[in-house]
């Protein structure tokens, strides 16, 4: 068993599951989406991205691209949350929250593609 591959797979799947946990719930209900969960999803996604930099294969390039897309979506969601909470008089309204959850949905899709590619690569490896 390759410990490096285990850690790599762990962070990719953890990024997906944290993102999914934030995404699930009513799109405009702040009780269903917590800022710390978004922050955890972003932090783990960034760690997973850093881990993908060493792979020089074609599948590694696609994995890195999907991870960068997820990072960009989650960073945009975090920016919108911070803007709504601290720079507007209305605060975090249901409209802002719907945008935040939608952005995290895009990251969720990118993370899902990354996990599917990882599984496909694992299945095709010959011993």
Taking residues 75-97, report their average pLDDT.
Answer: 95
Please indicate whether residue 56 or residue 107 has the higher confidence score (pLDDT): 107
DSSP, collapsed to helix, strand or coil, labels residue 57 as coil
18 and 27 in contact (C-beta within 8 Å)?
no
* Residues 38 and 78: beta-carbon distance below 8 Å: yes
Domain of residue 100 covers: 3-124
CA distance 82 to 93: 12
Q: How confident is the model at residue 82 (pLDDT cuts 50, 70, 90)?
A: very high
Q: How many domains does the chain have?
A: 1
pLDDT band at 115 (very low <50, low <70, confident <90, very high): very high
Could you tell me the CA-to-CA distances from 119 to 2, 9, 43 in Å, in that order?
15, 9, 23
Say what the pLDDT of residue 30 is.
Answer: 86
Q: pLDDT value at position 127?
A: 59
């Amino acid at each position: 068993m390759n410990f490096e591959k285990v850690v790599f797979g762990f962070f990719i799947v953890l990024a997906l599951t944290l993102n999914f946990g934030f995404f699930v719930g009513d799109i405009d209900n702040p009780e269903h989406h917590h800022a710390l969960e978004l922050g955890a999803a972003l932090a783990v996604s960034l760690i997973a991205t850093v881990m993908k930099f060493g792979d020089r294969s074609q599948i590694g390039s696609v994995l890195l691209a999907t991870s960068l897309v997820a990072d960009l979506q989650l960073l945009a969601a975090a920016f919108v949350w911070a803007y709504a909470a601290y720079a507007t008089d209305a605060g975090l309204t249901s409209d802002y929250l719907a945008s935040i959850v939608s952005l995290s949905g895009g990251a969720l899709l990118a993370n899902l593609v990354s996990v599917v590619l990882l599984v496909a690569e694992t299945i095709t490896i010959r011993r």
